Chain A
Amino acid sequence: MEMFALSFTIFILALFIGVELINKVPPTLHTPLMSGTNAISGIVIVGAIISAGSSDLSPTVAGVLGFIAVTLASINIVAGFLVTDRMLNMFKRKG
């Protein structure tokens, strides 16, 4: 329970940081912001890695799900960061 209280505190504080920070992002950059947040939501990969790696090679349902999770999160990370970079470079070109 103590752990939960701590985690919940962090959750609420992080929401406030998020609101303060995102409000400063200009509308011009809202699309790259969304693709960029898509990329960082790929952080779920840390959970996926543990799920995929903690079973042996003998496949269990949980292990297969872990593999799928790693794949999905990798798509988000790679596609998200690359496409955001592509867009932001267009804004940089003539600044």
Chain B
Amino acid sequence: MFALINFSYLAAAVCFILGIKGMTKPNTAVRGNQIAAIGMLIAIVAALLHKDIISYATIIAGMLLGGGIGVWLAKRTAMTQMPELVASLNGIGGAASVTVGASTWLFAHSSANLGAAGWTIAILLSIVIGSVTIAGSLVAVLKLHGTIGDSRKKALWQSVTLLALLSVITIGAFFVAGQGAHPLVLAGLVGLCLLLGVGLVQPIGGADMPVVVALLNAYSGLAGAATGFVLDNQGLIITGSLVGASGLILTAVMCKAMNRSLPNVLFGGAFGQADSASASRDEGDFYAGKVKYATPDDLALLLDSARNVVMVPGYGLAVAQAQHAVKELASQLESRGANVRYAIHPVAGRMPGHMNVLLAEAEIPYDHLKDMDAINPELPQADVAIVLGANDVVNPAAAEEPSSPIYGMPILDVHKAKTVVVVKRSLSPGFAGIPNSLFIKDNSLMVKGDAKEVLQDTTRAFKDL
């Protein structure tokens, strides 16, 4: 029986691997997700057959309660809120690892059957990583939601973090050495790790949350893998490392797209240090009289003669809920024979791939969504590029001015298009806090206003032409 259960966990892990493999192509992805779900079902059935289980009541109650909440969350969440949902699920995953780790330790403690040092280390890791994930995710959710803004007491939080980290290491060392093996010590450790999680994420700016969410995704996986070591469950170890690898790769992708190192995002925050007062003072001079304004009617006229149009959506598009308005304008353009593509920067939106999901929700075919590397060579052939609520990711300074703080960051080369139209509410800077030289280029026009309204006005004007 024992062997059968272990083989079932292996089967589940294989299903997860096949599931992720399915996710490598959009048209096999739904199937992949279903295979992964079947794997989960196999694992759960196997776990229910375990010989130690003497009561099913609490298990069933927990599954019903959790399942109900899960269905509610999955149905209720809007696509714009996906970063908050994923961040919450990271935290819940971390919490599950902590509770399993703590519960297992308490069982062993009450029956005076504590394992060897390696076992204790695994327990500690699952509790420490899990608790940091809980608190870090909570802060990330609140920041994504806008409930808490950027911290002004960066130094304070960094010393809190350091202090908490040192205490955790000290107590952890005693714990492994077999001293202080008391439930209250464990509870104290969890408390300290929660503080550590808050201290780690609180000083990071809201603009860097995509990196943090990806990193916490990795942590939740690694906490799961640690739990696998605790339970000697290889299926759990495999799955935890898959999730951990996924989170780490996405973290690396996001850091690369911002041309920053992970330590810089976590501890440095070069952009956060930028003196915002001096930036806003320079702005008046920078843009003075050099920005050419246009109306939605002008834009419609311009589009009338355009064959190749590239839309460049940024976070402003998501805020304005304008993804359906983009689709409408694009359909009009396509019905007159124009070719419309979407240029998507890796950090567009608020988490990896977020912009793609928002555009897919508006029924834009995914093969029209182009990655930065795919669209950049095509941009010089574009008649019109429309920048919708994106800023830093189209700033030519990143390619042309070595003195710029964002120099070296990969950008979408929209300034190479024949005409660039920037739809923006104001000239205020993006997350990097620097003026954008794109706005004063000869081939660029600015349409002031909310992305959704501008697009709708343009579509109307275009239909009347």
- Inter-chain contacts of B352 with A (CB < 8 A): 27, 30-31, 33-34
**Quick one: CB contact mask for A72-95 with B, threshold 8 Å, 1 for yes?**
111111111111111111111111
How far is the CB of A9 from the nearest CB of chain B, in Å? 10
Chain B residue at minimal CB-CB distance from A23: B249
A41 touches B93 (CB 8 A): yes
Chain A residue at minimal CB-CB distance from B37: A81
Q: Which of B92, B229, B230 contacts A72 (CB 8 A)?
A: B92
Distance of A81 Cα from B75 Cα, bound (Å): 11
Listed residue (A29, A32, A43, A46) with the most chain B CB atoms within 10 angstroms of its CB: A43
**Quick one: CB contact mask for A14-33 with B, threshold 8 Å, 1 for yes?**
11011101111111111111
- Inter-chain contacts of A31 with B (CB < 8 A): 82, 86, 351-354, 356-357
- Inter-chain contacts of A68 with B (CB < 8 A): 62, 95, 99
Q: Main secondary structure on chain A at its contact with chain B?
A: helix
- Inter-chain contacts of B159 with A (CB < 8 A): none
**Quick one: CB contact mask for B91-104 with A, threshold 8 Å, 1 for yes?**
01101110110111
- Inter-chain contacts of A49 with B (CB < 8 A): 44, 47-48, 50, 53, 59
- Inter-chain contacts of B217 with A (CB < 8 A): 34, 37-38
Number of chain B residues close to chain A: CB under 8 A: 119
How far is the CB of A47 from the nearest CB of chain B, in Å? 4
Is B244 among interface residues, defined by CB-CB distance under 8 A?
A: yes
A69 touches B99 (CB 8 A): yes
B353 touches A14 (CB 8 A): no
Given A45-B44, A60-B110, residue A70 in contact with residue B243 (CB < 8 A): no
**Quick one: CB contact mask for A53-77 with B, threshold 8 Å, 1 for yes?**
1111100111101111111111111
- Inter-chain contacts of A81 with B (CB < 8 A): 33, 36-37, 40
Given A19-B249, A62-B103, residue A70 in contact with residue B63 (CB < 8 A): yes
Is B54 among interface residues, defined by CB-CB distance under 8 A?
A: yes
- Inter-chain contacts of B241 with A (CB < 8 A): 11-12, 14-15, 18
Chain A residue at minimal CB-CB distance from B48: A49
Is B46 among interface residues, defined by CB-CB distance under 8 A?
A: yes
Is B365 among interface residues, defined by CB-CB distance under 8 A?
A: yes
- Inter-chain contacts of A21 with B (CB < 8 A): 17, 20-21, 24, 242, 245
Distance of A47 Cα from B236 Cα, bound (Å): 9
- Inter-chain contacts of A24 with B (CB < 8 A): 21, 24
Is B410 among interface residues, defined by CB-CB distance under 8 A?
A: no
Listed residue (B9, B43, B243, B363) with the most chain A CB atoms within 10 angstroms of its CB: B243
Distance of A64 Cα from B100 Cα, bound (Å): 11
- Inter-chain contacts of A22 with B (CB < 8 A): 20, 245-246, 249-250
Stretch at the interface among B66-74, B261-269, B310-318, B434-442: B66-74
- Inter-chain contacts of B89 with A (CB < 8 A): 35, 38, 75-76, 79-80
Given A22-B245, A28-B356, A38-B86, residue A46 in contact with residue B233 (CB < 8 A): yes
B58 touches A41 (CB 8 A): no
Contacts A/B (CB < 8 Å), 7 sampled: A26-B25, A30-B351, A66-B103, A75-B70, A79-B85, A82-B70, A88-B30
> 6 additional contacts, CB 8 Å, given A27-B371, A35-B82, A75-B69?
A7-B228, A11-B241, A22-B245, A27-B344, A43-B235, A47-B104
Q: Which residues of A contact B (CB under 8 A)?
A: 1, 3-4, 6-7, 10-12, 14-15, 17-19, 21-57, 60-63, 65-95
